A and B are shown apart, each in its own frame.
Chain A
């Protein structure tokens, strides 16, 4: 197997914005990429700290997102506040198991996968672990890819409330839970974006 060389071993540095390989010695004092003029760093500064802070914020927001109602409905059968989990349960009971599953994946499974995966990545990077580097990189890509699908519930609530205004059969309005849920999506996406996957492969001594 060929020896893989990392950028710094060859005196190179990669711009994270435009992907250009720049020779380390040619960098001027301001450390800007000669092509796109972004700041260029060997590793994203404070990457793990930012990721951890945003991850904690995401977990904190996830609690009110689930405890508070996301939607208020009123109709001929009375008024009701529904939470995300309550909504999933209702779909399930009504026999719409496929929609229940879809919302469950987007609103429960995806956020939890993100929390656990980012937590695992942070822990192994802090411990300077060489365990399953390839698999952990794949895990990072999965987190990046699934990130924004959690926005599903926000969109469903918004569309439902938009359609069920001034209706004879009933009305629907958003409730604060949905704002917290939106915050969870944004904050966990930012958390994943601040993680520098190259840390998985670094050999710090």
Chain B
């Protein structure tokens, strides 16, 4: 067990105390979160990851927005948005969009599923170290919630102009945002603590 905590933002050293459910330890000098109560409960984590995977699939398989003019329907979701940016060198923006709204969330879900599946069985998953590092570096680049807001803005923007409707995908994106936020709250740093608990 890690008995010494060091603040990420101001480098102050603390001796860790046991936390109860819902407790958050804050730095006394700069108010950064030092630690949250964390039970290595792979079961509930795994349930959330499965929910995230389902919502992610729905969001990418059903239209998020669609326009129906005289029986001709145009649909849009994350991939259609990415494809519309693939024009000449504007494609760098397409890459940025694909990375932040598709690749990163997909990898987060897949890697967390892998880690938690093994953790539930009491094993240290193969590639645990690199996976945790990857999850740590990817965290700031997951932009599902920004995509949700963007879709809402697009609805309002186009509504005066064309008959636009929101599809099932928008609800899936909203649900995915919530589930990913819940998973993100148990930050990767605390996931590390399950590593010594389980055998290699």
Query: Cα distance A139–B6 when bound, in Å?
Result: 20
State which of B32, B96, B133, B164 has its C-beta within 8 Å of the C-beta of A17: B133
Tell me if B69 counts as interface (CB < 8 A to partner A): yes
Please name all residues of chain A whose beta carbon is closer than 8 Å to the beta carbon of B143 when the two chains form the complex: 148, 151
Tell me if A152 counts as interface (CB < 8 A to partner B): yes
Taking a contact as CB atoms under 8 Å apart, the answer to whether B13 and A7 are in contact is yes
Apart from A103-B153, A160-B157, list 20 A-B contacts with CB within 8 A.
A4-B12, A7-B13, A18-B136, A18-B188, A19-B192, A96-B156, A102-B153, A134-B29, A134-B31, A137-B30, A141-B9, A148-B141, A151-B96, A154-B96, A156-B154, A159-B76, A159-B81, A161-B84, A179-B93, A189-B141
Query: Cα distance A38–B5 when bound, in Å?
Result: 18
CB nearest neighbor in A for B16: A21
State which of B6, B70, B192 has its C-beta within 8 Å of the C-beta of A12: B6
Query: Cα distance A202–B29 when bound, in Å?
Result: 13
8 A–B contacts from the bound complex (CB under 8 Å): A17-B136, A18-B133, A134-B29, A148-B143, A161-B81, A189-B141, A197-B9, A201-B12
B interface, CB within 8 angstroms of A: 2, 4-6, 8-13, 28-32, 64-67, 69-70, 74, 76, 80-85, 87, 89-90, 92-94, 96-97, 100-101, 129, 132-133, 136, 140-141, 143, 146-147, 149-151, 153-154, 156-158, 160-162, 164, 188-189, 192, 195
Please name all residues of chain B whose beta carbon is closer than 8 Å to the beta carbon of A18 when the two chains form the complex: 132-133, 136, 188-189, 192
Taking a contact as CB atoms under 8 Å apart, the answer to whether A155 and B150 are in contact is yes
Taking a contact as CB atoms under 8 Å apart, the answer to whether B146 and A152 are in contact is yes
Taking a contact as CB atoms under 8 Å apart, the answer to whether A154 and B153 are in contact is no
Q: How many A-B residue pairs have CB under 8 A?
A: 212
Taking a contact as CB atoms under 8 Å apart, the answer to whether A198 and B85 are in contact is no
Query: Cα distance A50–B132 when bound, in Å?
Result: 25
Taking a contact as CB atoms under 8 Å apart, the answer to whether B192 and A201 are in contact is no
Taking a contact as CB atoms under 8 Å apart, the answer to whether B29 and A4 are in contact is yes
Please name all residues of chain B whose beta carbon is closer than 8 Å to the beta carbon of A29 when the two chains form the complex: none
Query: Cα distance A158–B162 when bound, in Å?
Result: 17
Taking a contact as CB atoms under 8 Å apart, the answer to whether B11 and A155 are in contact is no
Nearest-neighbour CB distance to chain A for B128, whole angstroms, equals 9
CB nearest neighbor in A for B94: A158
State which of B66, B92, B133, B146 has its C-beta within 8 Å of the C-beta of A183: B92
Question: Interface code A79-120, partner B: CB below 8 Å = 1, 0 otherwise?
Answer: 000000000000100101001001100000000000000000
CB nearest neighbor in A for B136: A17
Taking a contact as CB atoms under 8 Å apart, the answer to whether B30 and A201 are in contact is yes
Taking a contact as CB atoms under 8 Å apart, the answer to whether A155 and B147 are in contact is yes
Taking a contact as CB atoms under 8 Å apart, the answer to whether B67 and A163 are in contact is yes
Q: Interface with B: A51-59, A122-130, A164-172, which one? A: A164-172
Taking a contact as CB atoms under 8 Å apart, the answer to whether A178 and B93 are in contact is yes
Query: Cα distance A144–B162 when bound, in Å?
Result: 37
State which of A133, A137, A162, A181 has its C-beta within 8 Å of the C-beta of B32: A137
Question: Interface code A175-201, partner B: CB below 8 Å = 1, 0 otherwise?
Answer: 110110111011001000100011011
Taking a contact as CB atoms under 8 Å apart, the answer to whether A14 and B100 are in contact is no
Decide: A137 near B5, CB < 8 A? Known: A152-B149, A162-B76: no
Q: Which 6 A-B pairs have the closest CB atoms?
A: A155-B150, A158-B81, A14-B6, A161-B84, A19-B189, A162-B84
Taking a contact as CB atoms under 8 Å apart, the answer to whether A168 and B70 are in contact is yes
Taking a contact as CB atoms under 8 Å apart, the answer to whether A176 and B89 are in contact is yes
State which of A21, A102, A179 has its C-beta within 8 Å of the C-beta of B89: A179
State which of B8, B90, B153 has its C-beta within 8 Å of the C-beta of A14: B8
Nearest-neighbour CB distance to chain A for B104, whole angstroms, equals 11
Taking a contact as CB atoms under 8 Å apart, the answer to whether A158 and B96 are in contact is no
Please name all residues of chain B whose beta carbon is closer than 8 Å to the beta carbon of A134 when the two chains form the complex: 29-31
